[in-house]
Amino acid sequence: MRRMWSMKSVWDMNVGDILQYDYTGDRDPKNHTMFVTKKTKNDIFLTYHTKNRKDRSLREMLKENNRGYVWYAYGYR
């Protein structure tokens, strides 16, 4: 059986892990879900269906979305 757990930092994620964010501030339900599809020494890349994005840089996303979003990282093994 596979399990998910909450991570303390988005930078601990690996390929196959899940990142969600909440931009409304109500904490539930989360507003968007993405999957880690690539990881390098300096960045994590996410893929998601909205706008059919593949391997988008997490660093780039954090720069663009710094309006108080709450990020939730989940390990999946």
The Cα–Cα gap between 74 and 77 comes to 10
Q: Which of 25, 33, 35 is nearest to 69 (CA)?
A: 25
> For 30-46, what is the mean pLDDT?
93
pTM of the model: 0.82
Per-residue confidence (pLDDT) for residue 27, from 0 to 100: 64
pLDDT bin (cut points 50, 70, 90) of residue 69 is confident
Residue-wise pLDDT for 16-34, tens only, equals: 999 988 776 676 677 788 9
Which two structure tokens, joined as six digits, stand for 58?
A: 């997490």
**% of the chain with per-residue pLDDT over 90:** 48
Q: Are 68 and 4 in contact (CB under 8 A)?
A: no
Q: Are 49 and 1 in contact (CB under 8 A)?
A: no
